[in-house]
Amino acid sequence: MEDERVVAGTRLLSSTPHTTTNLMNLPPPPGHPLATYVVQVPKDQIYRVPPPENAGIVERHRKAAKAGGKKSKWNCSTFLIWFLIVFLLLCVIVGGTLTVIHFIFTPVAPSFSVTKLHVKQRKQGSPPTYHVTLKAKNMNEKMGIEYKSDEDGGSLIFWTKTLGFGNFPGLKQNVGDSGNVNIKIQGLKGKQVPTMVQKSISDKKTKRQISLKLKLECPLEFNVWILKLWKKDLDVNCDFRVSTMAQGTKILSQKCKTKLS
């Protein structure tokens, strides 16, 4: 009787569509003799285990992804390293070039010396005009000099009193050239000429020696052919002594100091 019910149940399950047959050995129910059971499970309830080769494929994809990430990081690091190397080389080249230019073409201040003084005064007590002539020499062996005109760049001083101001004229000098620079100092209007200076100008019989100081300021440009390498400011201080400020003036002594800044 029990066998008939099992066969009937089996036939009922086999009539269900879309099913596969799995034979499973189940333990017999307690209290019942050993029997054979046939169980049918629907397809949508069967859990398949992927084949081992699928795991190998996934593992290969993972390794490839990791290798690609490492490769991109390596490429980025390599690019940065080469960029830094090239940048450092350029810095070394530019720095070396500038250092060589600095030592080879180091600007040297020109030299000055007072060679002549001539004073004109319309009448006693009026502001005199002082014409000072200097000799300027370019001391640079590889660079020319261009002196830029500077308004009120020159001043003439007697002790602590300023006698007047004048313009520094423009001038160009090639390597080793020397030439005269004429500075016209105009006396100050409305200010009395110092007594000793006025006596030295007016007294034509007795020569009265006078010590004076000339200050000059002007911008310079040092060049090699058409290349302008340096721009500097020139300061000149000349202390000189003349035999008289009247006619027949002679320069008794003079000393000029120049400075670049």
Q: What is the pLDDT of residues 146-178, one digit of tens each?
A: 999 888 889 999 999 999 999 988 889 999 899
pLDDT digits (tens, 9 = 90+) for 177-219: 999 999 999 999 989 999 999 999 998 888 889 999 999 999 9
- Contact yes or no for 222/142 (Cβ under 8 A): no
Which two three-digit tokens encode residue 136? 């300027």
Going by pLDDT thresholds of 50, 70 and 90, the confidence category of residue 145 is very high
Going by pLDDT thresholds of 50, 70 and 90, the confidence category of residue 64 is low
Backbone angles phi, psi at 110, to 5 degrees: -70, 160
Q: Flag whether pLDDT at 2 surpasses 50.
A: no
pLDDT digits (tens, 9 = 90+) for 86-143: 999 999 998 888 787 777 778 999 999 999 999 999 888 899 999 999 999 999 988 9
Q: 227-236, long-range: CB within 8 Å, 24+ apart, which pairs?
A: 229/101, 229/105, 229/107, 229/143, 230/105, 230/107, 230/143, 232/107, 232/260, 232/261, 233/260, 233/261, 234/109, 234/110, 234/147, 234/258, 234/259, 234/260, 235/259, 235/260, 235/261, 236/112
> What is the arithmetic mean of pLDDT over 75-93?
87
Which two three-digit tokens encode residue 245? 């400020």
Q: Flag whether pLDDT at 19 surpasses 80.
A: no
- Contact yes or no for 139/111 (Cβ under 8 A): yes
Which residue would you say has higher pLDDT here, 77 or 220?
Answer: 220
Going by pLDDT thresholds of 50, 70 and 90, the confidence category of residue 21 is very low
pLDDT digits (tens, 9 = 90+) for 31-45: 555 556 666 656 555
Q: Flag whether pLDDT at 47 surpasses 90.
A: no
What totals of helices (H) and strands (E) does the chain contain, helices first?
Answer: 3, 12
Burial class (CB in 10 A: 0-12, 13-18, 19+), 244: buried
pLDDT digits (tens, 9 = 90+) for 241-259: 999 999 889 999 999 999 9
For each of the domains in the chain, give its residue range(s) and CATH number, in order of start. 111-260 (2.60.40)
